[in-house]
Amino acid sequence: MKRAFLALGLAALAAAQMSDVSGQRIRAHTRFLSSDLLEGRGVGARGGRLATEYIASQFELMGAKPAGDSGTYYQKVPLVGVETQPDSSLAATAEGQTVSLRWLDDFVGSNERQQSAEAIDAEAVFVGHGIVAPEFGWDDFKDVDVRGKMLVLFTNEPESSDPKFFGGKALTYYGRWTYKYEQALRKGALGAIIIHTTPTAGYGWDVVRNSWGREQSYVKVAPGEAALALAAWVTSEAGERFLALAGHSVNELLKASESRGFRPIPLGIRFQGKILSKVHEQETRNVVAEIPGSDPERKSEAVVFSAHWDHLGIGTPVDGDAIYNGAVDNATGCAILLEIARAWAGLEQKPRRTAIFLSVTAEEAGLRGSEYYAAHPAIPANKTAAALNFDGFQPAGRTRDLVVTGAERTTLWPLVQEAARRMGYQIQPETHPEQGHYFRSDHFSFARAGMPAFSINEGTQFLGKPADFGDKLFEEFNALHYHQPSDEFHDDWDFSGLEQIARFGLLLGINAANAEELGRLKSKSL
C-alpha cells in the first residue's frame, strides 16, 4: 500500500510540476474579487452577481465545462432574505422595571419565521449552554418544558482539558451558535438569545453586529414548518442589565452553566417587543464547473474543489467605509480555486476522476450555498472521492507548515501526509481549536452529506519571519479585520504562500482522483 501511494504521489507530483501554477494570477483574481467595484460581494446584490459572472467567465475561458442548472455554470440556490429593521423593539420586564435594548448597540437578530412583523411576549428561561449530548452525559434542559419560552444561553460548551469530553480544548458542534438555535427549535422555544462574550464566542461584538445586523439568508420556510420567532444575540453589558432584574449576573450564570448538575433557571422576566423585517426572495447562485475524468468508468466519480464567493456586502460604516470587501475572506480562496482549475485544465493527461470546481454562495449566512449543493450535487456524495475546501488565506509569504482541518476524520489522511512530504510541508494541528473552524466553513456541509471533506490552509511558521509572526498575524486579523471593512487588498501582499497552497491542493486532488478507492469519512459522527 505504501509503495502504491509513493508511485501515485510521484506521478501526481510530476504532473503538478508541469502545470504552471502562478501566484501572480492568484493575486490578480484576489485584487478584482475584493475591489470596491464588487461592493463586498453581497448575496442577492449587484456585487455578488458580478462576482459569479467573473468566476463563471474564468471557468469558461480555461475550458472547464458548465455543471450547473440547464447546461449553465450556475446552480440557483433558493433563499429568502430577512432584514431586521432598526425600529424593531425588544425589552425585558420584571416587577414593574424595564430594560430596553437598542438595535445594534445592545442586540441583533432575525425572525426565522420570515414574517414582516413578529410580536414577542414570552417568559425567559436560562438554559446554560443549551446542550443535550447523551454521549457525554450532559443535558442542560433536564426535564424542564421550555415550549413557548424565550431561552437565554451562552454559546460554546463546558470547559474541559479532557479530549474525550466535548473535545477538550477543541470546540465541537455543540458549541456553535447554529446548534444553539437548532436545539432551541427542537425544544419548542419561541426564540433564543445568546449572551455574547468574547471568550465564549471567540470574536468581539463587532463581528456579531456586522454579521447579524444586516440581511440574513435562509432556506424558505415551508407552510406549517416550525421556526424561531427570534434568533438573537445581546452584548454582555446588555445581558448584565436585564439579568440584574432577576438578581443574577453574567459571570454567575456562566459559572453555573459549567456544572453537570445544572438545571434551567426561570428568570422571572418577560421579553416583549416587535421584530419588524423586510422579507423577499433572494436571487443567488453557486458557480459549478467540471473537467471530465479520463477513465470511462471512474469519470462518474468526482473530486470537488470549493471556495465561497460571498462576503458581507455593504453594511454599517466603520471610519466612513461601508464596503466589506472580504479580501482574505474569501477572495483569496476563490483565487486559489480558479488557479487550480486552470492548472487542472492544462494537464496533458487528465486524472481518472472528474474534477468539480465549486464556488458557493451564502457561506457567511450559515453555509447555505454549500448545504444546497450537498443536497443537489453534480455527482452524488457517495461517488465523491474527496472534497477540498479553501477559505481565508493571509498573503504574507510561504510557510513551512500547513493545516488540513478535518483531514484526519477521513481515509484520505495517508494521501495528505504523502503530498505534504513531497511539498516539504509539516502538517500542524489546528492552531486555534477553540474557534471551531471545522464547523465554520463549507467542507462541513459536505461532510454532513457523507463526503470525505476538509479545508486546506496555511500554517503559522512563515519563512524568514519571527517564530511568533503567524500567531500575531492571526490575532491581529481576528481582532481588527475579520468581518470588517478593513479586510481589503494590499499591494504589498506576498502571494508565494498561496501559490504553494494551490500546488499542494492540485497535487492532493490529482492523487485522490487517481486513487484506486474512493475516500471515506471515518465516522458519521460530526
Higher-pLDDT residue of 405, 105: 105
Q: pLDDT-derived band of residue 3, with 50, 70 and 90 as boundaries?
A: very low
Cα 1 to chain centroid distance, Å, stands at 35
In the chain, the percentage of residues whose pLDDT exceeds 70 is 95
The pLDDT tens digits of the residues spanning 343-398 come to: 999 999 999 999 999 999 999 988 999 999 999 999 999 999 999 999 999 999 99
Helix axes 413-423, 2-18, angle to 10 degrees: 50
How many angstroms separate the Cα of 274 from the Cα of each of 84, 90, 101, 235, 271?
10, 7, 12, 19, 10
How many angstroms separate the Cα of 409 from the Cα of each of 175, 285, 404, 450, 525?
19, 29, 10, 12, 10
221 DSSP assignment: P
Give residue 424's identity as a one-letter amino acid code.
G
pLDDT at 7 over 70: no
DSSP string computed for 235-272: -HHHHHHHHHTTT--HHHHHHHTT-TT---EEEEEEEE
pLDDT recorded at residue 440: 82
The pLDDT tens digits of the residues spanning 79-97 come to: 999 999 999 999 999 999 9
The answer to whether the Cα torsion of 153, 157, 160, 161 is positive or negative is negative
Q: How far apart are CA 17 and CA 507, in angstroms?
A: 9
pLDDT recorded at residue 8: 53
The pLDDT tens digits of the residues spanning 300-317 come to: 999 999 999 999 999 989
Per the CB < 8 A criterion, the answer to whether 426 and 420 are in contact is: yes
The pLDDT tens digits of the residues spanning 252-288 come to: 999 999 999 999 999 999 999 999 999 999 989 999 9
Q: What is the pTM of this model?
A: 0.87
Q: How far apart are CA 111 and CA 113, in angstroms?
A: 5
Give residue 37's identity as a one-letter amino acid code.
L
pLDDT at 16 over 50: no
| Strand residue runs (E) in 235-383 | 265-282, 285-291, 302-308, 313-318, 321-324, 354-360
pLDDT at 12 over 70: no
pLDDT at 526 over 70: no
The pLDDT tens digits of the residues spanning 503-514 come to: 999 999 999 999
Residue 390: Cβ-neighbour burial (10 angstroms; 0-12, 13-18, 19+): buried
Q: How far apart are CA 58 and CA 208, in angstroms?
A: 34
* Residue 319 CB-half CA count within 13 A: 6
Cα 481 to chain centroid distance, Å, stands at 17
Whole-number mean pLDDT of the chain?
A: 93
Q: pLDDT-derived band of residue 170, with 50, 70 and 90 as boundaries?
A: confident
Q: Is 168 left (phi over 0), alpha (psi -120 to 50) or beta?
A: left
168 DSSP assignment: T
> What structural domains and CATH numbers belong to the chain?
2-77+284-514 (3.40.630.10), 81-280 (3.50.30.30)
Q: Which of 86, 522, 450, 520 is nearest to 274 (CA)?
A: 86
463 DSSP assignment: T
Calculate the dihedral angle through the C-alpha atoms of 35, 40, 44, 46, rounding to the nearest 10 degrees: -30
Pairing mode of beta strands 230-234, 107-110: antiparallel
pLDDT recorded at residue 6: 46
The pLDDT tens digits of the residues spanning 445-473 come to: 999 999 999 999 999 999 999 999 999 99
pLDDT at 196 over 70: yes
The pLDDT tens digits of the residues spanning 318-341 come to: 999 999 999 999 999 999 999 999
Calculate the dihedral angle through the C-alpha atoms of 502, 355, 511, 20, rounding to the nearest 10 degrees: -40
Q: pLDDT-derived band of residue 167, with 50, 70 and 90 as boundaries?
A: confident
pLDDT recorded at residue 19: 57
Give long-range contacts, CB 8 A cutoff, 24+ apart: 96-102.
97/245, 99/238, 99/241, 99/242, 99/244, 99/245, 101/234, 101/238, 101/242
Cell numbers 414570552: residue: 122
Q: pLDDT-derived band of residue 202, with 50, 70 and 90 as boundaries?
A: confident
pLDDT recorded at residue 169: 79
Cell numbers representing residue 5 in the block = 501511494
pLDDT at 29 over 80: yes
Pairing mode of beta strands 426-427, 401-405: parallel
DSSP string computed for 437-452: GGGTSTHHHHHHTT--
pLDDT at 1 over 50: no
pLDDT at 14 over 50: no
Return the SS3 of 198: helix
Task: Name every residue whose Cβ is closer than 8 Å to that of residue 224 and which is 6 or more positions away in sequence.
Answer: none
Q: How far apart are CA 517 and CA 415, in angstroms?
A: 12
Task: Name every residue whose Cβ is closer than 8 Å to that of residue 487 and which is 6 or more positions away in sequence.
Answer: 34, 311, 324, 325, 326, 327, 328, 329, 477, 481
pLDDT at 10 over 70: no
Per the CB < 8 A criterion, the answer to whether 454 and 446 are in contact is: no
Task: Name every residue whose Cβ is closer than 8 Å to that of residue 7 and which is 6 or more positions away in sequence.
Answer: none
